[in-house]
């Protein structure tokens, strides 16, 4: 299982967040940089990933409701896809 550490401090706005996620999660070139596209990529990823989001408190603080939705997406995808494990610190 591949371990990926994401830093909530780097998720400053929507554009920066999606560019960061695209790079760190190795998302495809056609990734549309929105929550629906992120869900599609992660919910169908069967490679096995352990994703740790450090400073998850900053995600909601910096992105507001969008950040809360992003964190919920990670929780939901971990519940849906047995190949994705998510931890928040």
pLDDT, one tens digit per residue, over 53-68 is 999 999 999 999 999 9
pTM: 0.94
Domain that holds residue 12: 2-88
CA–CA gap between residue 83 and residue 50 (Å, rounded): 8
Question: Mean pLDDT over all residues of the chain?
Answer: 97
CA–CA gap between residue 73 and residue 89 (Å, rounded): 16
Close Cβ partners of 72 (under 8 Å, ≥ 6 residues apart): none
Number of domains in the chain: 1
pLDDT, one tens digit per residue, over 14-25 is 999 999 999 999
The CATH number of residue 74's host domain is 3.30.370.10
pLDDT, one tens digit per residue, over 34-87 is 999 999 999 999 999 999 999 999 999 999 999 999 999 999 999 999 999 999
* Three-state DSSP state, 67: helix
């Amino acid at each position: 299982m591949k371990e990926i550490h994401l830093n909530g401090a780097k998720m400053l706005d929507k554009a920066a967040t999606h560019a960061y996620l695209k790079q760190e999660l190795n998302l495809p070139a056609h990734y549309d940089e929105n929550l629906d596209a992120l869900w599609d990529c992660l919910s169908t990823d069967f490679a096995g990933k352990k994703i740790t989001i450090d400073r998850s408190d900053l995600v909601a603080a910096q992105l507001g409701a969008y950040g809360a939705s992003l964190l919920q997406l990670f929780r939901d995808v971990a519940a849906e896809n047995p190949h994705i494990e998510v931890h928040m610190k």
